[in-house]
Amino acid sequence: MTLRITSLKNSVDRWGPVSQSLHWLIMLLILGMAVVGLSLDSLPKSPKYFWVYDLHKSTGLAVLALVVIRLAWRLYAGTPAPVAGTPVWQARIAAITHWMLYALILAMPLSGWLYDSASGLRPLKWFGLFTVPKLAAPDPAVRDFARAAHEWLFWVLVALVALHVAAAFYHHIFQNDDTLRRMLPRRGSSGSR
Ligand code: HEM
Ligand code: HEM
C-alpha cells in the first residue's frame, strides 16, 4: 500500500495525522514542562539536582523545534474550514485563540532560553549532545525580565488553555458537533469521513 502525502495533510473537514500527532504530543510535553517547571523553585540549588533543570531546558527547546515544525506543516498542509454551522464570531474567537496559543508556546521556550542565557550560567548541553548557543550576554536586567516573562506568560497560557479545552468540550457535549472528533484519529476502519 502506498502512503500518499495528501492523506497526511489536513482536509477541508478534518485535521490530518501529522497535525493531530503534533497537537497531542506538544500538549503532553507542555503538561510535563509545567509540572517540572513549577517544582524547580523548591529544588535545592545543588549539582545533584542540575539534571532536572537540564531536562526541563532540553525538553523545552525540543518543544520550540516541534512548534516551528508544526507551524510550517500547518502552512503547507492547510487548515480545515470552521465546522458547519459555526457562527462567524465563534470562528473568529477560535482563530484568535489558536494564534495566541501559538505565540505563547513559542514565547515560553524563548523566554526560558533567554533567562538561561542572561543568567550567565554554565553552558547548556542539549540532552548532553551539543552546546546550545546563548541568546544574550550575562545581564541581570535581561535575566529578571526573562524570568518574569517566563512565569507570567505561563499563567496566561494556563488561562487560554482552560478556555480552549472548555470550548472543545462544550462543542463535543452540548453542540455534539465534529470539533473535537476532527482532532482525533478516525474510529473504525470504514474511512467514510
Ligand atoms: C514549553 C516550554 C516551557 C514551559 C511550558 C516552561 C514552564 C516553566 C514553568 C511553569 C516554570 C516555573 C515558573 C515559576 O513559577 O517560577 C519554569 C521555570 C523555569 N524554566 Fe521553563 N518552561 C519552558 C521552557 C524552558 C526553557 C527552554 C528553558 C531554558 C532553556 C527554561 C528554563 C527554566 C528555568 C531555569 C526555570 C526556573 C526558574 C527559577 O526557579 O529560577 N524553561 N518553566
Ligand atoms: C485536553 C486538552 C486539549 C484539547 C481537548 C484540545 C482540543 C483541540 C481541538 C478539538 C482543536 C481543533 C479545533 C478546530 O478544529 O477548530 C484544537 C486545535 C488547536 N489546539 Fe488544542 N486541545 C487541547 C490542548 C491544547 C494545548 C495544551 C495547546 C497549546 C498549548 C493547544 C493548541 C491548539 C492549537 C494551536 C490549535 C489550532 C490547530 C493547530 O494549528 O494545530 N491545544 N485543540
pLDDT single digits (tens) 155-173: 999 999 999 999 999 999 9
Q: Which three cell numbers stand for residue 81?
A: 474550514
The larger pLDDT score, comparing residue 127 to residue 41, is at 127
Q: What is the pLDDT, as a whole number, of residue 2?
A: 52
pLDDT in tens, 68-112: 999 999 999 999 999 988 899 999 999 999 999 999 999 999 999
The vertex-91 CA angle with 86 and 95, nearest 5°, equals 155
Q: For ligand 2, say whether the CB of 27 is within 6 Å of any of its atoms.
A: yes
Q: What is the pLDDT, as a whole number, of residue 191?
A: 42
| DSSP conformation class of 77 | H
Distance 148 CA to ligand 1 centre (A): 10
What's the mean pLDDT in 34-62?
A: 93
Banded pLDDT at 188 (limits 50, 70, 90)? low
Q: For ligand 2, say whether the CB of 111 is within 6 Å of any of its atoms.
A: no
Q: What is the pLDDT, as a whole number, of residue 7?
A: 84
**Domains of the chain with bracketed CATH:** 12-182 (1.20.950.20)
Q: What is the pLDDT, as a whole number, of residue 186?
A: 83
Q: For ligand 2, say whether the CB of 73 is within 6 Å of any of its atoms.
A: no
Q: For ligand 2, say whether the CB of 5 is within 6 Å of any of its atoms.
A: no
Return d(Cα 122, Cα 137) in angstroms, integer.
Answer: 12
> pLDDT averaged over the chain?
93
Q: Which three cell numbers stand for residue 119?
A: 543568567
Query: Does residue 124 contact residue 105 with C-beta atoms inside 8 Å?
Result: no
